[in-house]
Amino acid sequence: MGTLTGEARSAKGGLAAGGKKNVPAPVVVSGLVFELEQLAVPGQHLLFEACQKVLKDKQIVLTPALWSRFGLAAPLAEALNRLLATADRKPLSGDKLALEAQEAFLRAIARPTLKLNGALDELLREAARANIKVGALSLLPGDRAQALLAHLGLQERVSLQVMAQKGAPAPTAEGWLMTCKAIGVSARCSVALASSAQANYAALGAGLRCVVIPNEFTSYQDFGGADLVVEDLKELRVKDLHSLLRSCSFR
């Protein structure tokens, strides 16, 4: 019988040239996590409309500019109280109006006509083909988040994490980390899709890569540190995610 060459020995017995054993490169599992009610559906716009209607009944006109100023950085009751103080309408209760607006928002987000963002749907399908694990972070009450996930047909495609910190206006670093844990992928090997500066900074603070897709209320914000900012989710492809995560093994 003939003798094996060095290359053949390497292929058959796991020995590289020089007699060293080949060690297979570690398989890096990557993850994609996103804000459920901000990116799967236009949640920020629905909340704005709910508050707009509640305030209109009190003869207060809520404009997109006012919502961007008051409605994004604080819990809803606090935001409305600050808005009322600025409008010199202190006798009104922001807490009570917030409850009314929240109820209207929850009704709106449960509408049968609400549809999944087509661009996100396509990205998730592409991610599934690339074996990327996907998780969604929600600030909704648990039962409402589950219902929305089911209505959008995502319950079999996405792992849901409901954020424990009630009343927060945007995801926290802990929320992003818990979502990564839910899909079984480390933060350093995950990309977050965020819609606001707060969500972006929280994701970066948690050690994730972050792509920001601003909405009509957050487009003016500073997204410093974000790995990528896109005007439309249609611009984002799985190859972009792979590009961001290429060096995750060394982070």
Percent of the chain with pLDDT over 70: 86
Task: Report the alpha-carbon distance of residue 242 to residue 48 in Å, rounded.
Answer: 35
Lowest mean pLDDT segment, chosen from 15-19, 88-92, 152-156, 236-240: 15-19
What is the model's pLDDT at position 24?
Answer: 45
pLDDT bracket for residue 168 (50, 70, 90): confident
Instruction: Work out the average pLDDT over 183-192.
Output: 97
Instruction: Work out the average pLDDT over 158-173.
Output: 89
Percent of the chain with pLDDT over 90: 76
Question: Given a cut of 70, is residue 1 above it in pLDDT?
Answer: no
Instruction: Work out the average pLDDT over 26-31.
Output: 67
Instruction: Work out the average pLDDT over 225-245.
Output: 95
Question: Given a cut of 80, is residue 221 above it in pLDDT?
Answer: yes
pLDDT bracket for residue 27 (50, 70, 90): very low
Question: Given a cut of 70, is residue 57 above it in pLDDT?
Answer: yes
DSSP assignment string, 168-214: -SS--HHHHHHHHHHHT--GGGEEEEESSHHHHHHHHHTT-EEEE--
What is the CATH code for 31-41+116-250? 3.40.50.1000
Give the pTM: 0.86
What is the model's pLDDT at position 12?
Answer: 41
Answer with the residue of higher pLDDT: 160 or 18: 160
What is the model's pLDDT at position 87?
Answer: 83
| pLDDT digit string, tens, across residues 78-120 | 999 999 998 887 778 889 999 999 999 999 999 999 999 999 9
What is the model's pLDDT at position 143?
Answer: 96
Question: Given a cut of 80, is residue 2 above it in pLDDT?
Answer: no
Between CA 64 and CA 73, with CA 70 as vertex, the angle to 5 degrees is 115
What is the model's pLDDT at position 15?
Answer: 46
> In b/e form, how buried is each residue of 69-102, taking b as 16+ CB within 10 angstroms?
bbbbbeebbbbbbbbbeebeeeebebeebbebbb
Instruction: Work out the average pLDDT over 4-11.
Output: 40
- 228 Cβ neighbours under 8 A, 6+ residues apart: 210, 211, 212, 236, 240, 244
Answer with the residue of higher pLDDT: 195 or 166: 195
Please give the mean pLDDT across all residues of the chain.
88
DSSP assignment string, the chain: -PPPPHHHHHHHHSB-TTSPBP-PPPPPP-EEEEEIIIIIS-HHHHHHHHHHHHHHTTT----HHHHHHHSSSS-HHHHHHHHHHHTT-TTS-HHHHHHHHHHHHHHHHT-TT----HHHHHHHHHHHHTT-EEEEEE-S-HHHHHHHHHHTT-TTT-EEEE-SSTT-SS--HHHHHHHHHHHT--GGGEEEEESSHHHHHHHHHTT-EEEE---TTTTTS--TT-SEE-SSGGG--HHHHHHHHTTGGG-
